[in-house]
Amino acid sequence: MKIKKEVTIYDLAKELNYSPSTISRALNNHKSISKKTIKLIKEAAAGMGYRPNNLAAGLRNNKSNTIGVLISRINRPFMASLISGIEETARKAGYNVLISQSNDMYENEVSNCNALYDSRITGLIVSLSMETVDMAHFQKFIDQGIPIVFVDRVPDNFNSYKVVIDNYTAGYSATKHLIDQGCTRIAHFAGAQHRNIYEERKKGYLDALRESGLPIRDELIIHFKTLSFEEGNKATKKLLKMPEPPDGIFSANDTAAVSAIMCAKKMGVEVPQELAVIGFNDDPIASIMQPSLSTVSHPASKMGAISAKRILNHSGQNYDADLTEITVLGTEIIVRDSSLKRTRMLRSKTS
Amino acid sequence: MKIKKEVTIYDLAKELNYSPSTISRALNNHKSISKKTIKLIKEAAAGMGYRPNNLAAGLRNNKSNTIGVLISRINRPFMASLISGIEETARKAGYNVLISQSNDMYENEVSNCNALYDSRITGLIVSLSMETVDMAHFQKFIDQGIPIVFVDRVPDNFNSYKVVIDNYTAGYSATKHLIDQGCTRIAHFAGAQHRNIYEERKKGYLDALRESGLPIRDELIIHFKTLSFEEGNKATKKLLKMPEPPDGIFSANDTAAVSAIMCAKKMGVEVPQELAVIGFNDDPIASIMQPSLSTVSHPASKMGAISAKRILNHSGQNYDADLTEITVLGTEIIVRDSSLKRTRMLRSKTS
DNA sequence: TAAAGGTACGCAATCGATTCCGTTGATTAT
DNA sequence: ATAATCAACGGAATCGATTGCGTACCTTTA
């Protein structure tokens, strides 16, 4: 297979009897080039199949019009939506998106971080791995003035842009909702407590209980490692076998909540009558399963878009100037069947 | 914020009294550099915080150790898994992954294609948009010897690497399964017929009917545009209101299948007793919903991994040499509750 | 011991786009 | 009429890594 010679600005220069400088300026709409010349050059460029070489431009400018994304896993509904939001916003501004997943391992996060750095990305968007505690691998970006936006799973000992939801309020509201439904023994599926999103959700849970005068029972608070389906299954089985089982569960994610509901069904415990459940994330599954899962909705795609705008804004594009350092987005309690004790008679199509 | 000067191979050269050539060769383990020197240089590089500049290397080599991915949408379970598989494989080989989504629009596909080309990617992995018919925008990659791997939604008028599943057999088997369950009036939710994956699935459906001596009824074959939830809802409603409604549905994706089940429930039609349903993709939702959805499983992540290996292999890495031009992967019929008429009494926990 | 071979490195061009300084000719101001 | 201004463009260095060719020195062989 023969490889066609690529067309460069030098080829254009020779063809049109201009200098490469003029070609470059024309293609970038530089003001010191006449409109006529610009039009001429652009048409010739298109005609000859010229395509800019981002590597060359990037080398010269020491940046690549590329946003790097560093997350735990792509194939999770929240993450996929987040990336989608990032990509859409970046693309509109002419930026590319480099992705990498850590699989929640610190070591991978570090090496991916380096790989993205080596590509001279314009900015970095990060959702921390479960394991990450030390933040040293991010320092080199700061040293180079490369903006970092932490999303969702953010550090609290590192100063940078952050885009988060109000996890405390969300946790509080979710728990309050269960209390309003008449639950008095509410369990909590808590995530890893060194990730502050889970810490905040738990705090909200605790405060809601306190405020309502309900006792806090340690045996009803289960600390998960990954909030997986399997973990949820185990935890639920254990809870429901207790002499005084819980009558409600607030899970820090939907996956574990779903497993709880399915486990309860298997054990003959009726949801929501005997056990009300509310999850977190509003995964697609939540609205489809039976009973449909009450949950807290995350504006994932929007968070991605905002994060991307942060990067673009930082590079002086002033894309959306009224963004603050830390962006806190609101959440929404989505009430579905899995938590509806009180109004059950009115809407339940289950059982 | 002051920006630290980056360390280059020239800085290392000056510091260690070697030439830049030697530094470069040492860092790349070139054989003409002594082990001692390599060790010395690498240690100094690490100590001084040297980080390679991919842009410079890429410019020189005219490629960027980056795999470009061009898909319709990221936040679909299949696509997310596909990307995940690509990323994992690419990362292991030291490659980065650039993503872009077309949102199923031809125009976006073309411009994203150009953007990826401009970044001098090593190879391109594509799942075509619903709209795409003309393939001219891919030609420039071929002209430059840049490999393209089409995945899942592939063209049939363009010669390149392809990674697909056996859609015909899958469609045949899915339909046959419904027939085996005693269905005689089987409807088909068909995807856009200019995308051959949907064409093949339909062919399989038709042949299964023919082979079993069942009549083909055009009114039971619904052609969808996007196989969305809404479309599925409408189609199901229409079907179930027919004087002789179908007793089975083979849907070309899970989303529409789910909508069919939910619509049937609402209309008081029992699944699977009165209407057996089988979908396609094995989305996470399939195993969770009630009744659980029978479906055809796609090895999405594996398809991504294979596609990535194609690219790596093409660049002379000989990563996995026994891959053929077109890779056809098998599928699996996952039988769950939504299609189980015959053995219902034995396993159903529903109703 | 002289020729041959090998080891370990250096020189300088190269990749393509950008940009700081000019320069030229034309127009305007005084 | 002459200086000053300006529009429109060109020259050449620059970004950092790679690599073909060349060279100095050392070892081996006949």
Summarize pLDDT for B117-174 with one digit per residue, the tens: 999 999 999 999 999 999 999 999 999 999 999 999 999 889 999 999 999 999 999 9
In a domain, residue A240? The reply is: yes
Q: How confident is the model at residue B321 (pLDDT cuts 50, 70, 90)?
A: very low
Cα separation, A109 vs A115, whole angstroms? 10
In a domain, residue A101? The reply is: yes
In 3D space, the residue among A200, A143, A180, A193 whose CA is nearest the CA of residue A340 turns out to be: A180
Question: Nearest nucleotide to B38 by CA–C1' distance?
Answer: C8
Report the CATH number that the domain containing residue B139 is assigned in CATH. Answer: 3.40.50.2300
Is pLDDT of B319 > 70? no
Measured between CA atoms, how close is A62 to chain B, in angstroms? 8
Residue B287: list chain A partners with CB under 8 A: none
- Angle of helix A254-266 relative to helix A229-240, nearest 10 degrees, comes to 50
Pair (A138, A80) in one structural domain: yes
Side chain identity, residue A75: N
Does A28 contact strand C, using a CB cutoff of 7 Å?
Answer: yes
Residue showing tokens 């040297």? B50
Pair (A81, A201) in one structural domain: no
Side chain identity, residue A131: E
Pair (B149, B245) in one structural domain: no
Identify the residue whose Cα has the smallest distance to the C1' of D17.
B57
Query: To 10 degrees, the CA torsion angle through A213, A219, A225, A229?
Result: -90
In a domain, residue A84? The reply is: yes
A56 membership: H or E segment, kind and range: helix A54-61
SS (H, E, C) chain B: CCCCCCCCHHHHHHHHCCCHHHHHHHHCCCCCCCHHHHHHHHHHHHHCCCCCCHHHHHHHHCCCCEEEEEECCCCCHHHHHHHHHHHHHHHHCCCEEEEEECCCCHHHHHHHHHHHHHCCCCEEEECCCCCCCCCHHHHHHHHCCCCEEEECCCCCCCCCEEEEECHHHHHHHHHHHHHHCCCCCEEEEECCCCCHHHHHHHHHHHHHHHHCCCCCCHHHEEECCCCCHHHHHHHHHHHHCCCCCCCEEEECCHHHHHHHHHHHHHCCCCCCCCCEEECCECCHHHHHCCCCCEEEECCHHHHHHHHHHHHHHHHHHCCCCCCCCEEEECCEEECCHHHCCCCHHHHCCCC
pLDDT at residue A342, as a whole number: 75
Pair (A185, A312) in one structural domain: no
Beta-carbon separation of A112 and B91 below 8 A? yes
pLDDT at residue B253, as a whole number: 97
pLDDT tens digit sequence for B7-65: 999 999 999 999 999 999 999 999 999 999 999 999 999 999 999 999 999 999 998 99
Pair (B203, B315) in one structural domain: no
A151 membership: H or E segment, kind and range: strand A148-151
Beta-carbon separation of B84 and A99 below 8 A? no
Query: To 10 degrees, the CA torsion angle through A333, A339, A340, A344?
Result: 150
**SS3 state of residue A21:** helix
Query: To 10 degrees, the CA torsion angle through B3, B4, B9, B15?
Result: 150
Protein B34 CA to nucleic acid D26 C1', in Å? Answer: 15
Pair (A323, A342) in one structural domain: no
Chain A, residues 286-325, CB within 8 A of chain B, namely 288-290, 301
Protein A18 CA to nucleic acid D7 C1', in Å? Answer: 16
Is pLDDT of B260 > 70? yes
Cα separation, A309 vs A329, whole angstroms? 15
Q: Which residue of chain B is at minimal alpha-carbon distance from A144?
A: B3
Cα separation, B178 vs B157, whole angstroms? 33
Does A21 contact strand C, using a CB cutoff of 7 Å?
Answer: yes
**SS3 state of residue A335:** coil
In a domain, residue B3? The reply is: no
In a domain, residue B58? The reply is: no
Cα separation, B136 vs B129, whole angstroms? 14
Pair (A177, A111) in one structural domain: no
| Interface contact B76, partner A, CB < 8 A | yes
Pair (B202, B282) in one structural domain: yes
Q: Which residue of chain A is at minimal alpha-carbon distance from B259?
A: A288
Are the CB atoms for A284 and A77 separated by under 8 Å? yes
pLDDT tens digit sequence for B202-253: 999 999 999 999 999 999 999 999 999 999 999 999 999 999 999 999 999 9
In a domain, residue A59? The reply is: no
The domain total for chain B is 3
Pair (B81, B39) in one structural domain: no
Measured between CA atoms, how close is B30 to chain A, in angstroms? 21
**What is the extent of the structural domain holding A122?**
64-159+300-327
- Angle of helix A167-180 relative to helix A196-211, nearest 10 degrees, comes to 40
Nucleotides of D under 7 A from a protein CB: 7-20
Does B224 contact strand C, using a CB cutoff of 7 Å?
Answer: no
Pair (A323, A340) in one structural domain: no
In a domain, residue A4? The reply is: no
Does B119 contact strand C, using a CB cutoff of 7 Å?
Answer: no
| Interface contact B27, partner A, CB < 8 A | no
| DSSP code of residue A351 | -
Cα separation, A303 vs B345, whole angstroms? 47
Residue A55 has its nearest CB partner, among B58, B75, B289, at: B58
Beta-carbon separation of A120 and B55 below 8 A? yes
Task: Tally the C-alpha atoms within 13 A of residue B285's C-alpha that lie toward its C-beta.
Answer: 28
Task: Tally the C-alpha atoms within 13 A of residue A285's C-alpha that lie toward its C-beta.
Answer: 28
List, for chain A, all residue ranges whose pLDDT scores fall below the cut of 50. Answer: 319, 321-322, 344-351
Pair (A14, A148) in one structural domain: no
Residue B112: list chain A partners with CB under 8 A: 91
Beta-carbon separation of B3 and A258 below 8 A? no
Report the CATH number that the domain containing residue B38 is assigned in CATH. Answer: 1.10.260
Side chain identity, residue A205: Y
Q: What is the mean pLDDT of residues B180-185?
A: 97
Cα separation, A27 vs A217, whole angstroms? 68
Pair (A21, A133) in one structural domain: no
In a domain, residue A3? The reply is: no
How does DSSP assign A110-145, residue by residue? HHHHHHHHHTT-SEEEE---SS----GGGHHHHHTT
